[in-house]
């Protein structure tokens, strides 16, 4: 959990999605520790109505780091999460709708691509993003 300190703060974001070719959606993401530093709160907002705003709670739940995700569509999902200070991995295995993220932190930039599997074997690129630490 201490490696997550590298994410604390505000980030300016850009996202692209295959459903919206040639469109870059700007936004903002912030990470802050809840008092006691047992849970990290992540809030993400975008300027596009088709991209949901979200809040996530990241913590160690019985020895497994998880991210509990909630968004403006009413969606709630639980993901596994690992971060070694340079590589962020997030995943969710769910029959018919599995997701995984691999992202890399280099300096003040975090970038990665979410992938989606609807058949439990083939993975397609989904949401791609770049976060830059806000000044």
Residue 103 near residue 85 (C-beta atoms within 8 A): no
Distance CA 25, CA 81 (A): 24
What is the DSSP secondary structure assignment for residue 34, as one 8-state letter?
P
CA angle 116, 121, 125 (to 5 degrees): 30
Please state the domain extents for the chain. Answer: 2-133
Distance CA 25, CA 42 (A): 18
Residue 1 pLDDT class (50, 70, 90 cuts): confident
Q: Is the pLDDT of residue 2 over 90?
A: no
Question: Global pTM?
Answer: 0.93
Looking at domain 2-133, which of 3.40.50.720, 2.60.120.280, 2.40.128.20, 2.60.40.1180 is its CATH number? 2.40.128.20
Higher pLDDT: 63 or 114? It is 114
Both tokens of 7, joined, read: 């994410």
């Amino acid at each position: 959990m201490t490696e997550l300190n590298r994410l604390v703060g505000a980030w300016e974001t850009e996202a692209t999605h295959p459903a919206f070719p040639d469109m870059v959606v700007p936004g903002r993401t912030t990470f802050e520790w809840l008092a006691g530093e047992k849970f990290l709160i992540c809030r993400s907002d975008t300027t596009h109505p088709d991209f949901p705003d979200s809040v996530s709670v990241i913590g160690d739940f019985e020895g497994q780091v998880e991210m509990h995700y909630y968004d403006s569509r009413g969606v709630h999902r639980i993901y596994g999460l690992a971060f070694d200070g340079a590589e962020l991995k997030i995943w969710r295995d769910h029959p018919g709708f599995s997701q995984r993220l691999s992202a890399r932190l280099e300096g003040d930039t975090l970038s990665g691509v979410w992938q989606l599997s609807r058949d439990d074997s083939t993975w397609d690129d989904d949401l791609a993003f770049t976060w830059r630490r806000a000044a």
